[in-house]
Amino acid sequence: MTTVANDRNTDLRVIGKSLPRVDAVGKLIGLTAYADDIELPGTLFCKLLRSHHPHARVLSIDTSAALAMEGVVAVITGVDLPIKYGIMPTSQDEHALENEKVRFVGDPVAAVAAVDEETALAACRVIEVVYEPLEAIESIEHALLPPTDEPIHDYAGPGNIHRMGALEFGEVDEGFAKSSFIREDVFFYEGNTHLPMEQHSAIATYVGDQLTLWSSTQNPHYVHRALSRVFDMPMGHIRVVAAPHGGGFGGKSDPFSHEMAVSKLAMITGRPVKCTLTREEVFYVHRGRHPVLMWVRTGVSQDGKILAMHFRTALDGGAYGSYGPASMLYTGALQTTTYNIPAYRFEGVRVFTNKAPCGPKRGHGTPQPRFALELHLDKIAESIGLDPVELRRRNYVKPYSRTINHLRITSCGIEEVTDQVINASRYHERKKQLGHGMGFAVSSYMCGAGLPIYWNKLPHSECIIQVNRGGVSLYCGATDIGQGSDTVLATVAAEQLGLWPTDIRIVSGDTGLTPVDLGSYSSRVTFMAGNAALQAAKEMRDILVEVVAEKMECSPGDVMVGEGKIGELSFEDAALLAQERLGVLTTRGSYTPPRDIGGKYKAAGVGPSPAYSYSAAVVDLNADPYSGEIRLNKVWIAHDIGRSINSLAVKGQVEGGVYMGLSEAMMEGQLYRNGLHKQPSMLDYKSFTFLEMPEVETFLVDTVDLEGPYGAKEAGQGPLLPVIPAVVSAVYDALGVWVDEVPITPDKIMRALDARAKGREGRYGPKKFPQISYPPIVKVPPFDATSSAF
Amino acid sequence: MLRLPRFSYLRPGSVAEAAQVLSEYGSRAMVMAGGTDLLPKMKRGQIEPEVVISLGHLDELRQIRAVSDGGFEIGACVTLAEVVSSSELRAAYPGYVRAAALVSSPALRNAGTIGGNLCVDTRCNYYDESYEWRKALGFCMKKDGDICRVAPASATCRAIASSDTAPAAMSMQATVVLVGPKGMREVPVASLYQDDGQFYMTKAADEILVSLRMPDPGRWKSSYVKVRNRGSIDFPLAGVAVALQLSGPVVDDCRIIITAVGPQPLDVSHAAQPLLGNRIDDTILEEVAAEAAKPARPLDNADLSYVWRKRMTRRAIEQAVREAAEVA
Amino acid sequence: MSSIGSREILRFSVNGRSHELLVKPYATLLEVLREDLRLTGTKHGCEAGECGACVVLVDGTPQLSCLVLPGQVEGSEITTIEGVSDGGTLHPVQQALMDHGALQCGYCTPGMVLSSKALLDSNPTPSREEIKEALSGNLCRCTGYVSIIEAVEDAGRAMA
């Protein structure tokens, strides 16, 4: 790992150091209790009965045989949970247990609480459900046709269309008219799933009008809200605790049926109730990467400047809304944060199908268009005889600029990350050789969504620091899903207070104890919770410094903080002195994104972020022209991190992002056949083992963002993005054929080679983009700095 | 958590006792060596024995013995890991040991046995699914149903032969010893399997496979090539075992066994004819591979496309012949 | 093993402590450890031998505890993640994983530690290829494996 530092601030003691995570030891010795490890006295075990039909009316449910079984304590159905919920205000379309209609194989219809899992499962199997099957929709194309039976949902529409959008910025037709070269391409990105190692689990208690839920969730606040809605119960009577988390990647961001079911069953039985999903059920819970069909048309000038771009997407949303309205808009939002596109038109549609619902996965809605855009640019570069890196450089956005779709760009290391990987990989010195190739791509990602998921004016993240008898506790709703947010918060506070990160006790992700942080999604925690923690820590530092300055009879500016000391006093003595005077010491911090970071047009809420990270990757591989098999040799990845709070943790995020990008580029796919998930197991849903993973060389570029905590930006999602197109580009470099579809599997590569051998275009991918009746284009006026929505 | 259904667990004191218990329970019982194939299938309701007869603890099944004719007898409950770490076996049967080393993952090979791998159930992605999944689709003839889901017109189940070690053992013309109520018999590994994914083994249900007898390798050099998506964990998408006898660079004899391209491993040695008396070169090899891969009938019931798997069978044959020659 | 009704008596040793337990013959070692002994450090990700999260050592050898029956470990010595560190001192593998940032969510970590420990116990100076092969049945979704390889190399050096 190489860090490219752009500032001279060498005073920092712990920020940026390569330190172990604060929660490492518990995880290493097996002591950390994940949700399924929690067992309370008298716990009952819950199993969900799930639909066997992709699309059917529920005519009747008979639970009597289950209730009669020995060991069964309670059985519930949709009658017991009649209120719908959903993560987005516009998609309140899920029942915890479906009572009238099921929409995919795996849709829950009943829940059993029993003395053990074995009994609960046996009871589920004797529940009799009578279904009336309906036509099942399995593809985007099918969903665009008028339904023969009935639409999957009775809202949105027409037919099975969930959401559409059509926006234009600048003069697109004019841009194309001025272009000297125009190219169109079609791409398909197969959906895939998060595959967290930990299967989702939740355990609830209901004692004295207080419901408590421990769950492997990324977003305890949103679960809290959903529970309040479903049970029509004040939020003050509900506590949601994000248990130590065994992997999220976006897959534990929605409120889920099993969370509702254990809560209801705890209320009914008065006993703790736990539900842990099986691996197969995790595939049904899904909320993973949307399959997206994409069409892109770009006009460039003679010297390779982009003059106009028209981007169309069609997303297969699966059976429910989930984050879908946002997912759809994200497929069009961030093309502009890497390239200066003076005229841009976006049309998107999300359809419902009878498959497990899609949602956010690492990069939410942006890996698909990034894959398409980067390859499209490669093809344009080749068509006009320009080096693909040079073409991109000619169009890169500039720091502190405004995109055509009104996004505010601040710190931007896109040039630097490009330099790092291009130079280190000797990309331009590679020799043309059949079977060996290199591919390059860049990307950017948000440091947190600029708007909350539901409209409110409250801060996005809040934090309390308490110093009591010399001990420091930091309370924040942020949820450590493995990305290291507890470590980030502890490090930020430690720097201010002159302590070591492990000196700070972190209490996080607990709606009963911590102020709200919206959750671990959109790469928001370092930036937003980090800023909240920084504010609280600075205030605490000021309090301590003032008290010590008084005692030392000097000015506060002369009190040095560091190495466990505040001035002449140890931290503990300083804290006790302050507490003598002031009582228990508490400070708070909060973070709300600035108001001017986005536009005010309808749909402008998706895309704005207080800052964007930038990543570039070069992939080096061998692709066998006789088998299509790929052997990855090395990946160079450079990431504009702003500044690392903990460089070891950042390196881990970057390498993990590279890995996940490679694995989904080459083998992961949430495939369906005959209305069923084709491979709901860890054996058949392929993900990389140690043996597929190549060497990774990481470069961290410090751009020191002016608004990030200590200049920090995100690392959790961005580094995944350039890897996927870089793999496909490298295969083209090696074999001279395009696979315009991921995953790029050996059989697809061979089909492209076969096509070329038969004299056709050396390509595998979708032939055409369907005819879609998008709504009329909304022409958005240019950004007006005086009237932003924020 | 995915759990096992209830069953009785028996731990007989000897092979003879195991055979006797097995004949008493008949089809209600299954014998288990390492359990790595049986237990996941029981968890998914694919196999539902009332009684599991464990063999893994029987010392008489855990020996690797050099035998007087120059070969080796390997007890059925010798683990795959033990085979892999045996330098004697590796020297004599590089193809077989390679096949054992390529089964699943290291931890699984510490439990999985050579007998279990020879008997490993055929696989199909319409069948290797949970009870709930199969119920949702409609069951198939291999379990609880009456048609083949991947080939509805087929009268027989088309699940895929998935043992890596079986073709390697066949390429050495190995035999197995079976013990049943009528006593002991020795049969070629090649005759253990048949072209039916449901009833894929010819051995009687009450016979126990107790050992594998590998003959003196003599001048036979061997190799095994496995096609799969990942370098670990995965079952074969195609597997090729080759045994060669060479005089200098000239091929005297060649056996080719292909697997995972239909319900049983196939001896396609007839296709090696053009190699005999010749040096190995690209043209001959291509011709041999094309002919040898002809009986391969991959279907859409495993990972990646069946067209690709068929093509890869040819590639794997070419590679396996070359590797066997390199061993020489 | 002897039976009492539908239960069997399992005598084995876990992390150096002898146990005599009444268990279901069809409960896997994973279930016995987690549910009967409440040693929840052993994780589970698939319960079908496909992910490596549940690896424990049986007489020093890595085994998938989700595919082991009580009857197969009668008389055996089991090592789980709770038995790897020595009091307050981390095992060199644990220390190296921590120092290299080679754990994030931590859910695969127990299996990873035990597979690595078994490797280094038999081969203290493995090559990178040997490390990858030995750990190839342990899936991880967070780290990208790179840092784990570095950590195991370092741990081997520390143990040598």
Predicted local distance difference test score (pLDDT) of residue A726: 98
Enumerate the residues of chain B whose CB falls inside 8 A of the CB of residue A37: none
**Mutant choice from A676, A687, A754 vs B, greatest count of B C-beta within 10 A:** A676
Question: Residue A778 domain-assigned?
Answer: no
DSSP state of B235: P
> Mean pLDDT over all residues of chain B?
97
Could you tell me the CATH number of the domain that includes residue A124? Answer: 3.90.1170.50
Name the percent of chain A lying above pLDDT 70. Answer: 99
Enumerate the residues of chain B whose CB falls inside 8 A of the CB of residue A278: 1-2, 130
Predicted local distance difference test score (pLDDT) of residue A789: 47
Closest-CA residue of chain B to A745: B304
* A279 in B contact zone (CB under 8 Å): yes
Confidence label for A7 from pLDDT (cuts 50, 70 and 90): low
Inter-chain residue contact A678 with B125, CB threshold 8 Å = yes
Question: Residue A12 domain-assigned?
Answer: no
Q: Which of A591, A607, A642 is the last residue of a domain?
A: A591
Inter-chain residue contact C69 with B2, CB threshold 8 Å = no
* A122 in C contact zone (CB under 8 Å): no
Q: How far apart are CA A744 and CA B206, in angstroms?
A: 47
Question: In chain B, what's the furthest Cα-to-Cα distance?
Answer: 59
- From the list A276, A676, A689, the residue facing B137 with the nearest CB is A676
> Is domain B221-327 given the CATH code 3.30.390.50 in the classification?
yes
pLDDT at A533 over 60: yes
pLDDT at A271 over 90: yes
Inter-chain residue contact B229 with A686, CB threshold 8 Å = yes
* A16 in C contact zone (CB under 8 Å): no
Enumerate the residues of chain B whose CB falls inside 8 A of the CB of residue C49: 36, 39-40, 104-105, 108
Confidence label for A234 from pLDDT (cuts 50, 70 and 90): very high
- Å from B231 to nearest chain C CA? 8
Predicted local distance difference test score (pLDDT) of residue A790: 47
Predicted ipTM of the assembly: 0.98
Please check whether the two domains, B59-119+160-214 and B221-327, share a CATH topology: no
* A43 in B contact zone (CB under 8 Å): no
DSSP A1-43: -EEE--------SSTTB----TTHHHHHTT----GGG---TT-
* A649 in C contact zone (CB under 8 Å): yes
Q: Which of A260, A285, A310 is the last residue of a domain?
A: A285
Provide φ and ψ at A286, rounded to 5°. Answer: 50, -105
On whether both A402 and A440 belong to a single domain, the answer is yes
- From the list C26, C47, C138, the residue facing B6 with the nearest CB is C26
**Mutant choice from B7, B41, B102, B132 vs A, greatest count of A C-beta within 10 A:** B132
Inter-chain residue contact C48 with A279, CB threshold 8 Å = yes
Amino acid identity at A87: I
Predicted local distance difference test score (pLDDT) of residue A787: 56
* A279 in C contact zone (CB under 8 Å): yes
Nearest CA to A364 among A408, A338, A331, A336? A331
Question: Residue A338 domain-assigned?
Answer: yes
- From the list B36, B44, B54, the residue facing C71 with the nearest CB is B54
Enumerate the residues of chain A whose CB falls inside 8 A of the CB of residue C47: 278-279
Q: Are A616 and A425 in contact (CB under 8 A)?
A: no
Predicted local distance difference test score (pLDDT) of residue C5: 74
Inter-chain residue contact C48 with A681, CB threshold 8 Å = yes
Buried/exposed code over B77-113 (b: 16+ C-beta within 10 A; e: otherwise)? bbbbbbbbebeebbebbbbbbbbbbbbbbbbbbbbbb
Question: Residue A11 domain-assigned?
Answer: no
* A455 in B contact zone (CB under 8 Å): no
On whether both A412 and A461 belong to a single domain, the answer is no
On whether both A612 and A650 belong to a single domain, the answer is yes
- Å from C98 to nearest chain B CA? 24
* A694 in B contact zone (CB under 8 Å): no
- Å from A556 to nearest chain C CA? 37
* B48 in A contact zone (CB under 8 Å): no
- Å from B242 to nearest chain A CA? 20
Q: Is C68 exposed, middle or buried (0-12, 13-18, 19+ CB in 10 A)?
A: buried
Inter-chain residue contact C99 with A37, CB threshold 8 Å = no
Could you tell me the CATH number of the domain that includes residue A729? Answer: 3.30.365.10
- Å from A638 to nearest chain C CA? 16
Nearest CA to B257 among B197, B208, B189? B189
pLDDT at A198 over 70: yes
Cβ-based neighbour number of residue A416 at 10 Å: 18
Nearest CA to B35 among C66, A510, C124, A330? C66
Beta-bridge partners for B79: B113
- Tens of pLDDT, residues A491-500: 999 999 999 9
On whether both A104 and A232 belong to a single domain, the answer is yes
* A208 in C contact zone (CB under 8 Å): no
For residue B193, give both structure tokens.
Answer: 């399997």
Write out the residue range of the structural domain in which residue A125 sits.
Answer: 35-134+199-245+252-285
Domain boundaries, chain C: 2-75, 92-159
- Å from A161 to nearest chain B CA? 26
Inter-chain residue contact B132 with A691, CB threshold 8 Å = no
- Å from A27 to nearest chain C CA? 5
Q: Which of A263, A285, A307 is the last residue of a domain?
A: A285
- Which chains would you list as touching C if contact means 3+ CB atom pairs under 8 Å? A, B
Q: How far apart are CA A236 and CA A238, in angstroms?
A: 6
Inter-chain residue contact B35 with C47, CB threshold 8 Å = no
Q: How far apart are CA A130 and CA A107, in angstroms?
A: 15
Number of domains in chain A: 3
Question: Residue A566 domain-assigned?
Answer: yes
Inter-chain residue contact A245 with C53, CB threshold 8 Å = no
CATH of C92-159, one of 1.10.150.120, 2.60.40.10, 2.40.110.10, 3.40.30.10: 1.10.150.120
Rg (CA), chain B: 19
CATH architecture for residues C2-75? Roll (3.10)
Predicted local distance difference test score (pLDDT) of residue A6: 62
Q: Are A37 and A23 in contact (CB under 8 A)?
A: no
- Tens of pLDDT, residues A283-316: 999 999 999 999 999 999 999 999 999 999 999 9
Mean pLDDT to the nearest integer, A598-621: 97
In C, what residues contact B, Cβ < 8 A?
1, 6, 8, 24-28, 30-31, 44, 46-50, 52, 55, 61-64, 66-72, 74, 115, 133-138
Predicted local distance difference test score (pLDDT) of residue C6: 81
Nearest CA to A684 among B99, B229, B102, B37? B229
Enumerate the residues of chain A whose CB falls inside 8 A of the CB of residue B234: 683, 686
Query: What is the topology classification, in CATH, of domain B59-119+160-214?
Result: 3.30.465
* A102 in B contact zone (CB under 8 Å): no
Question: Residue A102 domain-assigned?
Answer: yes
Helix boundaries (H) for A172-303:
172-178, 220-230, 257-269, 279-285
Enumerate the residues of chain B whose CB falls inside 8 A of the CB of residue A746: 304, 308, 312
- Tens of pLDDT, residues A720-765: 999 999 999 999 999 999 999 999 999 999 999 999 999 999 999 9
- Tens of pLDDT, residues A554-570: 999 999 999 999 999 99
Q: Are C78 and A230 in contact (CB under 8 A)?
A: no
Domain boundaries, chain B: 59-119+160-214, 221-327
* B195 in A contact zone (CB under 8 Å): no
On whether both A426 and A553 belong to a single domain, the answer is no
- From the list A279, A649, A651, the residue facing C46 with the nearest CB is A279
On whether both A349 and A304 belong to a single domain, the answer is yes
On whether both A443 and A475 belong to a single domain, the answer is no
- Å from C127 to nearest chain A CA? 13
Enumerate the residues of chain A whose CB falls inside 8 A of the CB of residue C90: 25, 28-29
HEC profile for A707-770? CCHHHCCCCCCHHHCCHHHHHHHHHHHHHCCEECEECCCHHHHHHHHHHHHCCCCCEECCCCCC
Predicted local distance difference test score (pLDDT) of residue A9: 57
- From the list C25, C30, C137, the residue facing B105 with the nearest CB is C137
Inter-chain residue contact B308 with A746, CB threshold 8 Å = yes
- In chain C, which residues have pLDDT < 50? none
On whether both A613 and A699 belong to a single domain, the answer is yes
- Tens of pLDDT, residues B146-203: 999 999 999 999 999 999 999 999 999 999 999 999 999 999 999 999 999 999 999 9
Confidence label for B91 from pLDDT (cuts 50, 70 and 90): very high
Mean pLDDT to the nearest integer, A677-700: 98
- Å from B174 to nearest chain C CA? 29
